[in-house]
């Protein structure tokens, strides 16, 4: 699991998702952030969740 305040540009996205993409296993991978208007997004098998949704609904 990776946490980031806001993922606003490609450099931040690569920093937050790139390290998880490099791990070659079958465990679920998550990025939690406060990125506006995000509900749930899947990026190469990495689930991106908004912090509020994560805290209220879980994974």
pLDDT tens per residue, range 18-45: 999 999 898 999 999 998 877 777 878 8
Q: Pick the closest to residue 52 from 40, 29, 42 (CA basis).
A: 40
* Residue 25 main-chain phi, psi, to 5 deg: -140, 180
- Count other Cβ atoms within 10 Å, centred on residue 11: 9
Task: Let me know: does 29 contact 17? Beta carbons within 8 Å.
Answer: no
pLDDT for 37 equals 73
- pTM for the model: 0.82
Count Cα atoms within 13 angstroms, Cβ side, for 21. Answer: 10
Average pLDDT for the chain: 88
pLDDT band at 15 (very low <50, low <70, confident <90, very high): very high
């Amino acid at each position: 699991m990776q946490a980031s305040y806001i993922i606003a540009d490609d450099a931040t996205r690569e920093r937050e998702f790139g390290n998880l993409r490099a791990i070659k296993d079958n465990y679920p991978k998550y990025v939690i952030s406060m990125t506006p208007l995000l509900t749930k997004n899947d990026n190469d098998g990495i689930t991106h969740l908004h912090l509020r949704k994560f805290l209220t609904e879980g994974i």
